Amino acid sequence: MTVRPSRLVLALFLLPQLALARHKAPPTYAIPIPGPPDFSPLAWLVGRWSGRITSPGQRGTLRWTVQYGAGRRVIVLRERLSLQAMRTAPATQRSWLGILTEPRARPPYVLRVFTSTGFLIRYEVMAEGPEIQFNFSGGDPAPAGWLFRRSIERTGVAAFVETVQVAPPGHSFFDYYKAQFTRLPSSRPATAPSSP
């Protein structure tokens, strides 16, 4: 059996290439990861909170849960609101879930709120000292013509006051409600059993 010279040259050329390929590391790809967001002005808000309406003529309760999510790249806020019936309005039960992010061009932070009424509301969030301002910046869908804003003022280590304001189409803002919140005690961590 005779080997053609062209096949011999091809084999001599490919054998070293195959040997190199066997030892060559596979390529690695890296997606550049953005730096961690700076939520330090809002860190005091993380936790569970209980609130009560303090506006004259209104009665109701609120629950807030604020926690980090997605590897501390977002803050997740949840609110549950229960307003008792009044002379001018029926009893109300509402809730919302918000995702707060830090855009690359700071400030402000951005809060996207998904409501139990079906609206998606977007706020620009500014934190300065003990105060946090939530300013309406649109939605999808947003209630046509309505504007919303809220503010939080930290009044103690474990307390804050929230003011929610609403402006109907073509009208000025009015206080929808004010609420006083206190931090709920944290669950105590489980203790290790003592050894005999």
Rounded mean pLDDT for each run of 10 residues along the chain, 196 residues in total: 60 64 76 89 94 91 95 95 85 95 81 93 93 91 84 95 94 93 70 36
Tens-place pLDDT, residues 89-105: 789 899 999 999 987 76
The pLDDT value recorded for residue 12 is: 63
Tell me how far apart the alpha carbons of residues 73 and 95 are, in angstroms, rounded to a whole number: 23
Q: Which residues pair with 121 in a beta bridge?
A: 113, 139
Tell me how far apart the alpha carbons of residues 123 and 149 are, in angstroms, rounded to a whole number: 8
The pLDDT value recorded for residue 52 is: 97
Whole-prediction pTM: 0.77
The pLDDT value recorded for residue 15 is: 65
Inter-CA distances, 112 with 7, 91, 142, 160, Å: 67, 26, 12, 22
The pLDDT value recorded for residue 194 is: 37
Domains of the chain: 40-183 (2.40.128.20)
Six-digit token pair at 137? 């910046």
